[in-house]
Structure 1
Amino acid sequence: MTLPTISVITVCRNAQECLPRAIESVLASDYPNLEYVVVDGGSTDGTLDVIERYSASIDRFVSERDDGISDAMNKGIALSTGEFHYLLHADDRLMPGALELLARAATPDGQVVCGQVRVMDGDKLFRLFRPEPLKLREKMSVPHMGCIVRKGAWEAVGGYDVARRIAMDHLFFLKIFKQFGASAFSTIDTVVADYSLGGLSDRRMFDGFREVKKNLIDMGFGKIWANFSYGKLVTKAVIRAALRAWS
């Protein structure tokens, strides 16, 4: 099997403390057809010094102000040349060998290959995020930090919506689901990355739920279904927070 080129894209801003770990995890991936793209949002700390330290291993780099995470991700994907792309944020970590496992699971007509992601609270496992593409019709059920995505699919659905500040990944995958069908997604039963709690989507969780509701309405699922799904998300989050506080 000829392995496709995968463009790993890291978007960051003021991430000097966590970025080295993310970069090191990419360099340790040992994938033969790897392109690495880093998009910095105009950092004012030592992030650019970190990037300079690893510049020999970075194929494409840009540092400039952007219009949020969606804009930064779109910018990185547009710069990439790989058949697939993989988004690894600055505070996350790629598992060794994960890219090859994902690449080998890709089918000729498939658009997205999803692995499992460990959601980490510091050094403690908070939960295991298993991809469930069929549940995109009610929530964000595909961890984008665990997926390789065909660049043609990103182009076909118009990329990430810059109007979405939190649940842009849900809308993106929902568009792929609607355009290409459930067969566009394949999954592997393997942990491919660690995701660190504490990012924007965690700090503004309920804003994210409201965006999921809007995504469902905009994609034609109807207000009744969207409000029902939103209610389930809120209820589960409240229960999970209470259990976490008591533990």
Structure 2
Amino acid sequence: MRVSIVTVVYNNRDLVQDAIDSVAAQDYGDMEHILIDGGSTDGTMNIVKSYRHLKWISEMDDGLYDAMNKGVMMASGDIIGLLNSDDLFKDQYVVSRVVDFFKNSTNVDIVFGNLEYVKRENPKDIVRVWRTGDFYPSFFEDGLVPPHPAVYLKRKVYDKHLFDLDFKLAADYEFMLRIFKDPEFKVGYLDSICVSMRLGGVTNNSLRNIINGNIEIKNAWHKNGFSLPHFFWMKRIIFKLKQFLK
């Protein structure tokens, strides 16, 4: 199975090298790493161009999720995953574990694992862990959501679904709600931490973005023909608080 990892970057010269090196360190052999740059002006592309193995483009785009769609459409892999330019794989065996899970599970199309939040200046300092447990029919209704950077999809999922650019902050949530609710696809849970995610992402970097992101989450339910469940917001808060428990 060939694996494509897509990284989207814009003006992240200080951290993008860590992400590239993290992918390159994976022990799985049949991989490609695609980097989509939004027209960086800070020297990011000087770093990217120094890696001869990367597939990349650098051009203006319509935001993060437009760039993700571009990367997915460039991918040649049987399995496609995303790694943010701030983030790192937990260890060098992540992709191998994901591929083994696909191979050993019958007809699984979607595999998701766990994620740890780490301090931006010290990725070895773990702040909280995003671990949902197995997927089940009322997973989203119970306020749960898979950690998007730890979601790996077969090519055919992206052939049917891409990110909806009407959503600027919660397109990843809307995308996951849509694909996990699609009866065509079978979901598997890999109980392993896949990604170390540095704190300070766009969605949570201001109160305004948090509010607007939650409005988009509500809109994601309605746009896909679902009713927002009772006590949904309370359940989401409880789940997030549990992430801080060791």
- Aligned-partner Cα distance in 2 for 1:37–1:24: 13
Of the three residues 223, 231, 238, the one matched with 1:218 is: 223
SS at match of 2:80: strand
Q: Report what 2:213 is aligned to.
A: 208
Q: Which runs of 5+ in 2 are unaligned?
A: none
- Aligned-partner Cα distance in 1 for 2:94–2:159: 24
Q: Report what 1:83 is aligned to.
A: 78
Change (3 A) 1:234 1:113: closer
Change (3 A) 1:236 1:98: closer
**Equivalences for residues 173-212 of structure 1 within 5 A:** 173-180=176-183, 184-203=186-205, 204-212=209-217
Native 8 Å contact 2:143 2:235 kept in 1: no
Is 1:110 matched with 2:112?
no
Deviation at 1:201, TM superposition (A): 1.6
Letter in 1 for 2:183: F
Is 1:144 matched with 2:148?
yes
**Equivalences for residues 111-130 of structure 1 within 5 A:** 111-122=109-120, 123=122, 124-130=125-131
CA RMSD between the two structures? 2.1
Deviation at 1:89, TM superposition (A): 0.7
Letter in 2 for 1:105: F
Change (3 A) 1:234 1:213: farther
Q: Which runs of 5+ in 1 are unaligned?
A: none
- Aligned-partner Cα distance in 2 for 1:146–1:217: 25
Q: Report what 2:69 is aligned to.
A: 74
Native 8 Å contact 1:136 1:170 kept in 2: no
Letter in 1 for 2:99: A
Letter in 1 for 2:41: T
Native 8 Å contact 1:136 1:173 kept in 2: no
- Aligned-partner Cα distance in 1 for 2:188–2:196: 20
- Determine what percentage of the aligned residue pairs are the same residue: 27
